[in-house]
Structure 1
Amino acid sequence: MKTSLAIPVTKTQSSKLAETDFSNLVFGRTISDHMFVADYKNGEWTDLRIEPYGPLQLNPSNAALHYGQSIFEGLKAYKNEDGEVLIFRPDANWRRMNESAERMCMPSIPEEIFMEGMRQLIELDRAWVPSAKGSSLYIRPYMFATDDYIGVKPSDTYKFIIFTCPVGNYYSKPVSVKVETKFTRATEGGTGAAKTAGNYAASLYPALQAQKAGYDQLLWTDGKTHSNIEESGTMNVMFKINGTLITAPTNTGTILKGITRDSVIQLAKDWNEPIEERFLSVQELKEALESGTLEEAFGTGTAATIAHIQRIHINGKDYELPEKSGDAFSHRVLAELDGIKYGSKEDSHNWIMKF
């Protein structure tokens, strides 16, 4: 995308790059030197700038802190063997962020501001993009209300920020999950399809209880009957039963439209893999586990990419999944996605933004 957008830059006087151990990255703990910032007021985005990453000054009456108008995205940048930076599907993240903004009564972000703010920020902090396979630069765009007003209404002002952090793998080994049949993440008519902070806040307590019991994540079920699998806390989920991939549809408004999920579906279609976008009932999952017809179960997400599931807990019983061979679909699709992201495989769907 050609642009003439000039963004003023204030460089940090004390870079943390030299003291960063890129061989020992804890996901989300190490933040790069700079951030892109824009302010929304009087109906337009203004004061675009890149400045040193640092604390924000907020008044105690800040509307986001009281009424939860806050949305975010997550995407990644990679470095190929030629030292070029490759960002995976940023256009999809921009569109999804604006869908979240509409649901949360927040202003849309022009494509040029989203893309150029991100590109120029990463160009400045290019040295923060890890080179090692399995590592990447996580990109966090987010927006929140900035009115100083105690009243239940959409804010008139907002702040949009992008910052980045070098990361390793989110999950270092296959995960254990528990089917949740008491607590609810989202219901039809709610905000489940929006990437808004409140959805994650509501999930923390039941997820913590599962972690205390020895599980990495929950498999959320529908809020009405708790009879159908929807998604996991950090990712969409897919199951391969009798040779067919099954994943929940995203047209109910209760499930996040995962970009990795969409990419996996597209690759499955490219490879003529049978796939069904439908709800898998807890009972059907239980029967597939007991009969041995569940061949694979895995999560899909930006942070996790492909997270293999090794254990599923349903109604008081643990089920262990068989170890997957190297030609399993989840292994093949992970290798394909990694190849595209790191530039070693053909990008036939034009998913990569390169600079």
Structure 2
Amino acid sequence: MSRDLKELLDLYNENAPLEEAFTIPAPWYLDADVELAESAQVFGRNWIAVGRVDQVAAEGQFFTVEIAGEPLVIVRGADGGLRGFYNVCRHHAAAVANVPCGTVQHLRCPYHGWTYGLDGTLKGAPEFAGVCNFDRAANGLVPVRVVTWEQFIFVTLDADAPDLMTSLGDLPARVSPLEIGKLRLFERKTYTLACNWKVYVDNYLDGGYHVPHLHKGLNSVLDYKEYTIENSARYSLQSSPMVSSQEHESFAATRTGDRAYYYWLYPNFMINIYEGVMDTNLVLPLGVDRCMVQFDFYFADVSEGARAANAESVAVSDRIQDEDVDICESVQRGLRSRAYGAGRLSVRREGGEHLFHRLLASDLCRAV
């Protein structure tokens, strides 16, 4: 990597304790070299959530996704096994699955008809008679590591990455009593924001700091003074007792229970849990100043009789998201100002953001 990248990374002190720490510097949200390093060292080497188990529940079901610039296909095999492959034909590199999802008996490249089994083995290479030293067994689809936790599917492009359960630490044990596996998908919504993906993660991890100012409705049902932040090695939990309030009726009706739980798993996956309600947020970079946030909404009851109530809950989430979009895009504009270099962090509120920045810096240091 260039010397310029090293100079940019040296602007941040990942060893500073929270009470002395600054945020990562503004150029990290703006620089193309940082973006390339993130693709390789953050998204290319960690476990990344890519989908749900129900998307590939039956034999031959598949979906496609792109991580760190790499096209992937996730598929359920004839033997019931879940597999991931680079979505790249071994002949001339076309995508073997060229639609977002579907059900197939095999994966056939639309370019020259090379056909692969659901286990990735090459089954057919038309008109290849006479090709010398061609090893059919060595020309199957290239696999990627894929595993599940709860109803979520994760992949890593790094063959040497620690297994997912090691990366999750005690998170599965902490989430297990919440029984999120009983919740069922209701709807998926996708948003595109004019900001760097890290701006969105920062906003999520500020310990509720912005909630009283930006999210009046949500704030009405959270006990902000009792809002807590707990960091583990690779995740952060923000949590708050719920309170009864009729100040904002739609929030009171859709955000209930004793406590709200907001889990963030490095680098880009969030799980938000209320009583009988969960949504997950997956944040993916689309460029230095653009990102996509994918929301999946889950409910304990997804019957037709519960549709109206569930739709109202999603609408409440939309209102919160709209408020976050506006402020995140404002931050992105401000990061380009000569008036800003880096900011300080609240010891009371922004420990999760501090964890994110230190993990990010640790990954990026491998690029120089």
Q: Which TM-score band applies after superposition, normalised by the shorter structure? A: under 0.3
Structure richer in helix, relative to its length: 2
Structure 2-normalised TM-score? 0.25
Structure scoring higher RCO (CA < 8 A, sep ≥ 6) equals: 2
Which entry has the higher C-alpha Rg, 1 or 2?
Answer: 2
